[in-house]
A and B are shown apart, each in its own frame.
Chain A
Amino acid sequence: MSKAIITDVQKCLACRSCELACALAHCQSQILEESLRESPQPQPRVTVEACGKFAVPIQCRHCQDAPCMAVCPTAAIQRHSESDPVLISRDKCIGCGYCIEACPFGAMEVTNDGKAVVKCDLCIERTQVGQPPACVTACPTGAIKFKDVSNISADRRKITAAMISESLDNE
């Protein structure tokens, strides 16, 4: 996949701004005040999960060999190419919940009306016009980033090099 949502877990405050932004980006009106009166109620595709003092947003990882895609009986879960996100077709989804059971991260949820399943779509409508996903824009500490996957290891190499040079300087 070319770009992915990366979380710097040490920066997450568990403020849940990403959840709000996600629900808002996927509702009909896309206006906060009006979205409250909508039916079905807006629903986030990302959940901030806490474990002790540690918290991190959990959303779809868009697995290369996605179990949800393999298990879907109506082929409603598809990806067009290797670099595209795994997407659910709302029309074809029958809400059987097979994918929820297959997802190893618990990143999928049934809609409020129980008729379909929703999960992170990497804000496909926003990314197509060059904007980052809603949760990335909303994160106040910059913990959630939208990065090229190939850049991740390059960045990590730079951090490692900096650590080595720092330890050499200290000696």
Chain B
Amino acid sequence: MAKIKTIIDGIEVEVERDSWAIDVARELGIDIPTLCYHPALGPYGACRLCVVEVTKSKWTWLATACDLPIREELSIKTNTPEVIRSRKMAMELIMARAPRAESLFPLAEKLGVTKPRFKCRDDIGNCILCGLCVRMCDQIIGVSAINFANRGHKRIVTTPLHKKADKCIGCNVCVEVCPTGHVKTLDDGSFRHMQTWDADLEMLHCLICDKPYIPAKQFKVISDKLEGIELKRICPVCRRKETVDNLRYAVVEKVS
């Protein structure tokens, strides 16, 4: 692969063609705020917080770093007044959409936003439409139980036809990747309730300690993926104990 010279904040680096600008910058230790970016997924560019100033010969413009491939010599600056202004505006819009998302407060403060100038919404929870849950469910888990619905300011993340998500396997990835804590789940004995998607999933019980430990649908997906290896239906804690028990049998009882 051809190497391409690029300058980021005055540091000259040689990168492979088609590397993403955000990966290059982060490798250099340059901090670029993001909410919709995840290294396991492709570029998306929804949150607009990763904007940087790009200069190519005479031209200068603002671009999102997460979907900016480096294909020719570029000069990238991550800290100009224009960049700071643009990031602040994006953060204000995000905060107006999810004013009660506490996990965003530190980032908002860092970008200089205390109170958005715009009218705050309170009818859509804390969802900022970053699309992480939708993309994870579709591209990584391969289930696609949720997606976007409606357009413009009515756009939301929801289940097909706003009904119970019958395809959901209860893997909880949407809960873990959500930057604002909008997606909620509750484990309640024999069921895992995906509250945001209105899905109730039956849990499998450990054959040894009888505690519920994994949704039955998720167990099936994992065992299908591991062809040829039979999964034990015991929880990880009991599995450790079983390992020790097998060792004890091999060492102590054989010796004595």
Contact = CB atoms under 8 A, between A and B. Distances in A.
Interface in B241-256: 241-245, 247-248, 251-252
Interface residues of B, number: 35
A106 B248 contact: no
A124 B247 CA distance: 27
B46 interface: no
A138 interface: no
B252 A54 contact: yes
Contact of B231 (A47, A96, A101, A107): A101
Contacts of A100: 236
Given A52-B248, A71-B225, A115-B176, A102 B240 contact: no
B28 interface: no
Contact of B240 (A52, A76, A97, A107): A107
Given A91-B39, A92-B39, A94-B40, A71 B140 contact: no
A114 B242 CA distance: 25
B243 A49 contact: yes
Contacts, number: 99
Contact of B247 (A9, A76, A104): A9
Interface residues of A, number: 39
Interface in A126-170: none
A13 interface: no
A93 B244 CA distance: 28
A101 B141 contact: no
A30 interface: no
B157 interface: no
A74 interface: yes
Nearest to B177: A94
B244 A54 contact: yes
Contacts of B243: 49, 58, 104-106
Contacts of A67: 226, 229
Contacts of A106: 236-240, 242-243
A171 B238 CA distance: 46
Interface in A1-44: 9-10
B172 interface: yes
Interface string A58-86: 10000000010011011110000000000
A58 B239 CA distance: 11
A50 to B, nearest CB: 7
Interface of A: 9-10, 47, 49-52, 54-56, 58, 67, 70-71, 73-76, 89, 91-98, 100-109, 114-115
Given A96-B141, A101-B222, 13 more contacts: A49-B244, A56-B244, A70-B225, A74-B40, A75-B40, A94-B40, A94-B136, A95-B176, A96-B171, A96-B173, A96-B176, A103-B236, A114-B176
18 contacts: A9-B251, A47-B240, A54-B244, A67-B229, A71-B226, A74-B40, A94-B38, A94-B173, A94-B176, A97-B214, A100-B236, A104-B232, A104-B243, A105-B240, A105-B243, A106-B237, A106-B243, A107-B240
